């Protein structure tokens, strides 16, 4: 990728986990809002296809293959930019829904790596670039799992609490700098991959998560919320936005209709 030198650095938006779901939808929305979007994910073919689609629609996007857990790769990625305006830390996800008593430590470790350390890597590497833009925004896509627990969720809940703490602490530490820290905490979002990945590709188990729920959120609903927060005037910091479907009152209270 050539060194980016756009008219305004604050109009560059980096989105991680942009190959599907909330990340892909956010890339599309931010591009439509006038940002030059850099889509990153491990699956290069997917982000290239989405970038192509965005460009074909008359907006601006490029794809950059990146594994957020690979710190050296993240640092190299950061050198491509003198400054950027928006970083959307979206990469992450859940593995397993086992009780604490039988949960797989490897799943817990992997979730910490992607959700927490992935966010840490990108944020550390790009913070100077966000500051250099004179008007930066770090978006952290956490989860309602970062705010309260539920049975079978501990590994993911612990990782998302880590992400939430990162957001809260960073906001305290950089106050006074021209960088906002925005946390978006989605509840039940039906995407093509979240539940499927969680249950190791088991379609039946994945479908059960949304069974009977009238209208779970879509990836685009969350992308809309992210884009709204990012496009507020610079002095307005949306600290934490919890977004759930109407049918979900809490992590454990979900309205399901009989079919
Ligand atoms: C997704 C929400 O309820 O699956 O981050 O933990 S939940």
12 Cβ contact partners less than 8 Å away, ≥ 6 residues apart: 4, 6, 35, 36, 37, 38, 81, 83, 84, 85, 86, 133
Kindly state whether residue 257 falls inside one of the protein's structural domains.
Answer: no
156 catalytic, yes or no?
yes
Model pTM?
Answer: 0.96
Residue 206 lies in a domain: no
- pLDDT tens digits for 128-171? 999 999 999 999 999 999 999 999 999 999 999 999 999 999 99
Residue 144 Cβ inside 6 Å of ligand 1? The answer reads yes
Residue 32 lies in a domain: yes
- The answer to whether residue 250 is domain-embedded is no
Classify residue 235: in a domain, yes or no. yes
Angle between helices 154-173 and 118-132 (to 10 degrees): 20
Tell me if 147 is assigned to some domain.
yes
Structural domains counted in the chain: 1
Alpha helices per DSSP H over the chain: 21-32, 44-56, 71-78, 105-111, 118-132, 154-173, 194-198, 203-210, 219-230
| Ligand 1 atom closest to Cα of residue 251 | 3
The residue with tokens 């209270």 is 253
Q: Which of 147, 137, 146, 133 is nearest to 170 (CA)?
A: 137
pLDDT band (50, 70, 90) for residue 6: very low
Residue 127 has pLDDT above 90, yes or no: yes
Nearest CA to ligand 1 atom 5: 143
Ligand 1 atom closest to Cα of residue 144: 2
State which residues form the domain around 232. 8-189+217-243
Atom of ligand 1 nearest to the CA of 157: 6
Report pLDDT for 5: 38
Please give the pLDDT value at position 3: 42
Q: What is the CATH number of the domain that holds 119?
A: 3.40.50.720
Counting ligand 1 atoms within 8 A of each CB, the residue from 22, 91, 140, 145 with the most, and so the one to mutate, is 145
Query: Does 98 map to a domain?
Result: yes
For residue 78, the SS3 value is: helix
Residue 160 lies in a domain: yes
Tokens read off for 22: 């909330």
Distance in Å, CA 192 to ligand 1 centroid: 14
Residue 9 has pLDDT above 90, yes or no: no
Whole-number Å distance, alpha carbon 146 to ligand 1 midpoint, is: 9
pLDDT digits (tens, 9 = 90+) for 191-230: 999 999 999 999 999 999 999 999 999 999 999 999 999 9
Q: How far is the CA of 155 from the centre of ligand 1 (A)?
A: 12
Give pLDDT tens digits for 70-116.
Answer: 999 999 999 999 999 999 999 999 999 999 999 999 999 999 999 99
Is 118 close to ligand 1, i.e. is its CB under 6 Å away? no
Please indicate whether residue 251, judged by its CB atom, sits closer than 6 Å to ligand 1.
yes
Q: How far is the CA of 241 from the centre of ligand 1 (A)?
A: 15
Residue 4 pLDDT class (50, 70, 90 cuts):
very low
């Amino acid at each position: 990728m050539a060194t980016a030198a756009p008219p305004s650095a604050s109009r560059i938006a980096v989105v991680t986990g942009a190959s599907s779901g909330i990340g892909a939808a956010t890339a599309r929305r931010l591009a439509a809002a006038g940002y030059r979007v850099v889509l990153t994910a491990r699956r290069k073919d997917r982000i290239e296809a989405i970038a192509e689609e965005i460009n074909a629609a008359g907006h601006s996007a490029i794809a950059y293959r990146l594994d957020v857990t690979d710190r050296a790769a993240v640092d190299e990625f950061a050198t491509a930019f003198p400054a950027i305006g928006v970083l959307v830390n979206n990469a992450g996800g859940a593995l397993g829904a086992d009780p604490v008593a039988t949960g797989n430590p490897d799943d817990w470790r992997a979730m910490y790596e992607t959700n927490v350390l992935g966010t840490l890597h990108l944020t550390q590497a790009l913070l100077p670039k966000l500051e250099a833009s004179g008007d930066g925004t770090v978006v952290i896509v956490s989860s309602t799992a970062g705010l309260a627990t539920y049975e079978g969720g501990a590994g993911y809940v612990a990782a998302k609490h880590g992400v939430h703490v990162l957001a809260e602490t960073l906001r305290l530490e950089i106050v006074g700098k021209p960088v906002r820290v925005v946390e978006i905490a989605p509840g039940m979002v039906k995407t093509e991959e979240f539940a499927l990945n969680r249950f190791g590709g088991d379609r039946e188990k994945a479908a059960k998560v949304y069974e009977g729920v009238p209208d779970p959120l879509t990836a685009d609903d969350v992308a809309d919320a992210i884009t709204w927060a990012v496009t507020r005037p610079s002095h307005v910091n949306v600290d934490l936005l919890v977004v759930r479907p109407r049918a979900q009152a809490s992590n454990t209270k979900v309205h399901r209709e009989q079919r």
